[in-house]
Amino acid sequence: MVNRVTVLGSLNVDNIMQIKRLPLPGETMTMSAKQIAGGGKGANQAIAAARSGAITAFIGKVGEDEQGRLMKKYLTEANIDTSSVTLAAQETGQAFILLQESGENSILVLGGANQAITNDDIEQAKDKISEADFLITQFETPLETAITAFKYAKENDVVTILNPAPAKRVPEELLKNVDLIVLNETETELLTEIKITGEDSWSTAAEKLAQLGVKNTIITLGSKGAYYKTTTAEGFISAFKVNAIDTTAAGDTFLGALSSQLHHDLSNIEEAIVYASMASALAVQKLGAIPSIPEVDEVNNALGGADF
């Protein structure tokens, strides 16, 4: 069965600036190269889901500008339904990525049209939510629209997946309608006030999230792997060992790929995490966000010869 995934999220044009290291205060440095690519957490996650075979729809906004047309083109080329991607008076969102030689990155985001999404837009896109198996959102769009969309999703038996990034406090009104939360170590620490130091802390943090109302958790741990805890299972999946060139879309690729494979009851969460981990491992070996996200055949072929 093919999953139907709807993403409420951001559409950004990424300006990638390749540098040796981060500059010190007051220091002027030269860049070794600069590229422009499609991105935004929402777009990355949607394209990752679509390229892994999910029937995908997007709820978002772009400006009436060249960047907006470019972002819609990226979605359309991935066979994503863009009928709920509408125009805003603001310019299309942009991200400025400082990519170091180590593969690590620092990102500055200009929200632009992404911040113009309103509850009226959610109302107009209700059919895209109710028809989905999974609804995904992040925090690069207004929080109130996430609350509205997740409430409607739960009324229609749609599984909700929250990626609380960029990291911020999550209101109880949203948490109570989250079925699965996927977050990294920084986001986990902010939300639970538990320092992530090892296996015991992963489990303790997941228990804290359950107390807050989220019963199913995946904590992504970068090059180490991913920890998961649901109402019926708990475990850790090691990451695939690769030489990372650009980690910009690693987490987004993981989440989108995950949503394409998960069963509605999350019963295959371990297998879905293995698939998502491989998709992410492939993505970090290429430059750029959207250009690096693999197709389903590429992931399955890599899994055929994978070492854990």
Quick one: which H or E segment has residue 161? strand 159-162
- The alpha helices in the chain, defined as continuous H runs, are 41-51, 66-77, 119-124, 126-130, 143-155, 172-175, 185-192, 199-211, 250-261, 269-283, 296-304
What CA–CA distance (Å, rounded) separates 40 from 117?
A: 15
89 is in an annotated binding site: no
283 is in an annotated binding site: yes
CA dihedral 208, 137, 39, 184 (to 10 degrees): 10
Residue 299 has which token pair?
């992931």
184 is in an annotated binding site: yes
286 is in an annotated binding site: yes
Confirm if 164 and 191 have CB atoms less than 8 A apart: yes
14 is in an annotated binding site: yes
224 is in an annotated binding site: yes
41 is in an annotated binding site: yes
| Site of tokens 């769009």 | 141
156 is in an annotated binding site: no
44 is in an annotated binding site: yes
246 is in an annotated binding site: yes
Active site annotation includes 297? no
252 is in an annotated binding site: yes
What CA–CA distance (Å, rounded) separates 175 from 210?
A: 10
92 is in an annotated binding site: no
40 is in an annotated binding site: yes
Cα-trace Rg, the chain: 18
Question: CB 298: neighbour CB atoms within 10 A?
Answer: 15
**Residue of 252, 265, 297, 307 with catalytic role:** 252
What CA–CA distance (Å, rounded) separates 287 from 281?
A: 13
> Residue 107 to residues 22, 39, 172, 233, 305: CA-CA distances in angstroms?
11, 12, 28, 35, 34
280 is in an annotated binding site: no
The annotation places the binding site for ATP at 184, 220-225, 251-252
Residues classed as catalytic = 252
Binding-site residues for substrate sit at 12-14, 40-44, 140, 252
Query: Would you list which residues are annotated within the binding site for K(+)?
Result: 246, 248, 283, 286, 288, 292
Residues belonging to the binding site are 12-14, 40-44, 140, 184, 220-225, 246, 248, 251-252, 283, 286, 288, 292
